[in-house]
Structure 1
């Protein structure tokens, strides 16, 4: 903000004091979390009001205070699992927009406006009668100007995942239509996540024991945190920030997350295939540092990567800072002792996609005798020759919400990121 320099020498000091007071209030609001809903509404300073945005119902959520006008970043807000469950149909939403004069709620591209009252609270109705079952993204935006006035200086927003019950089933049928890579094929392996079986999914670091990224991969029974939740036929993998956590491996990691694999450390597999069409239907998180993936590794590499290396196929590597593109890759990893001599990679950055943090999409790959073909929503995007095609072993599947060490990681108001998976299927 800019203003005409005052003539009085004491006025700058007064304004500086008010600015400091405003910063203190913002800090208090940021740490208040759901308790903000019970706190009295203070009178705002005219020059530096305390801005805050929170949902009370469904919720309460954590509080968003970051001004997105200057530097948009992750804004995921926390919401209790019980509060996120809503019914398909009319939904009343209430919230607190402190220091803001207009609010908009966005679901599936539909905007609903609200104006906060004198107590900073707002109430509006959302029509979820046409919503599908499962996770639903709700974005809430707030501005310090009246509706339709775009001369705002403060723009806050938060995102929550609601979970719709009693809506339509949007999960595609196993029999896919003509033109889809799975059409006319036989479904030979399927996971619909009604439960999470330890006989089907190994949880923890990669089955070969290798660690990567900026988060620790937890097993099922870690007393610190459980990243794996089954909800209404969907799997949620949560990556949570724990600043005070002492990384037992000594890497200094402060994120805890999940990694699931149909390959097990003893070299066995619950699902692995040399050829076929592999598909995962997922809703990916947004936010700098989030690194969700669906990927394959050849079974022989579980116990023999040190001696022989391995072939890896990354069906998708998503990056939370760029949710309209992702990377598809095939790697031919040489043995570690070769110091990367003979390493090969076929890779493409798939761009111009719809924002995959807003809806479920199908991420697939077809492996033939000779080729690897990558698909997004059933449409071919990239193909490459299959490495070691004469000797490569069957491929098992992995689902991961890692945190990337290659980009600065933003800790959102929620303190976590979520990856949702509807199903994993293999067709032959």
Structure 2
């Protein structure tokens, strides 16, 4: 791959405009584009054993827009730092249901002279969709059944980004590329991990090539990852072709320990695939039959989402700040990133890339609860009980809304567990 890995991936507006749906651009490189690295192995996570947590089957009338309760449609023609040529629109000409249970994302030659791209008047339009506002999950099975387009300079992708992108930046947020294809490799797709120290051209991944000279654009194929706390396995049509673990990172940090959101896009041009040429015809369409997310083994999904307490108020990082020592409070639920928490299974409770922390590791009633860099201490270890207590294991005390208040801005503290309403919390 010959792209600039960081500028290509990091959006110029970062996640503050994520809520306006302008996110980091799709993808990067993958290491190796040859034959599968491993023999075909049956997928060990049969659907019957899994618990489905999210799905879109794309049922609806022909020409209707993607479901806004599931997807945000992004717009813009910045090139995403990778010199991509398309302008992403919210037009149904570029993203719409086909009436046959599919979503179509279509790249077209542009006829709207008012659209401006980084290089001038835009040559192409296309679409990119994400679930950053509506759905995130840590761990499980993530799959999409897709018929990709074809042609030099055409670049379809199904991938995921960490929900802490806006606070820690890319690549620290992590990226899991479930599938990407560049048109000059019609029979090969790539699966890749990106994180700190292994981003861009240093991404950890592999390619999967269909046998017998087949092309992925000739039919539908199912692209899957099974993601657990310490491994991620990629599949094409149920055939496992690579597994990655922390041991593959050469000592670099494994950042796949928190919720990610989904991205579907179809790019045109860019440093890696190159530009379309005389052999490339338009329009080109990426057809998605379904996207499904589940647990990988039928077990519980690590909790993520808002934490609601007394009066239905949400646990909130004051001001959305990421500085160590930022107070934690109650706030009207807004759905913004300052209210998106994850319990990744290691005892921590995380938001904005940092941990819920008892100031100074105090065991006293009334100890301040704050945001702090994750450090593995007992001041940052919590248990969410069946009784809905959120108990700090370092002190044996409960997360508590001060003075039994549900007012906007009420500070949170730890206090001897009483069973009161101001100590009851619902996650997700």
With the length of structure 1 as denominator, give the TM-score of the two structures. Answer: 0.50
Which one has more relative contact order, counting CA pairs under 8 Å at least 6 apart?
2
Q: Which has the higher strand share?
A: 1
With the length of structure 2 as denominator, give the TM-score of the two structures. Answer: 0.50
